[in-house]
Amino acid sequence: MIEGDFVSGLEIIDQAIQIAYTHPIQTTYYLSACLQAKTTLLIEIGDLDSAHVIAAENYKLIQERRDLIVGIYVLSSMGNILFKQGDLSAAKELYQQCLASAQDLNERRMEAAQYRDLGEISLVEGNIELGIDQLESAAAISEAINSADILVDVTKELGDIFLETA
């Protein structure tokens, strides 16, 4: 995406958030979905402080609704923010919490994503063997559930590691 696309995307998401806040039929589900989209986009453009504020707002909504599955996605986004800010320990803790929740809820896509994220942290920490194991777990789950986007990312990461380590 080019920068203009991000600006347009944020404008559209903000319009959707406003509609969700003011719609006569009050539902936090759509508002939460819009806030998650905005968090993801803000992370992508590197506005981590704003992303954290939006994710925290969304997490409050999730707790009110007791929506455990969406809560995993929100916490994972918070982990992504911490990872990009360099707080590996806190990011790893959130990813591990998300992994356990995903396994408890049998949310396989999020389980694969958390293995991927934990693998990336392990690689950054220099624990190559553990990182490879976690990425291979992510690949196996992604393949089993036909999650091509995660599988492509993980397979590329594994290929790069194998090339670097011969």
Check if the beta carbon of residue 92 is closer than 8 Å to that of residue 80. no
pLDDT digits (tens, 9 = 90+) for 49-96: 999 999 999 999 888 878 888 888 899 999 999 999 999 999 999 999
In eight-state DSSP terms, residue 24 is: S
Question: Residue 20: which of 38, 42, 41 has the closest Cα?
Answer: 38
pLDDT digits (tens, 9 = 90+) for 120-144: 999 999 999 999 999 999 999 999 9
Amino acid code (one letter) for 154: V
DSSP per-residue string spanning 102-139: HHHHT-HHHHHHHHHHHHHHHHHTT-HHHHHHHHHHHH
List of residues 6+ apart from 111 with CB closer than 8 A: 99, 102, 103, 141
pLDDT digits (tens, 9 = 90+) for 52-63: 999 999 999 888
Token representation of residue 83: 């990872």
pTM: 0.82
3-state SS assignment for residue 66 = coil
Residue 136: how many CA atoms within 13 Å on its side-chain side? 8
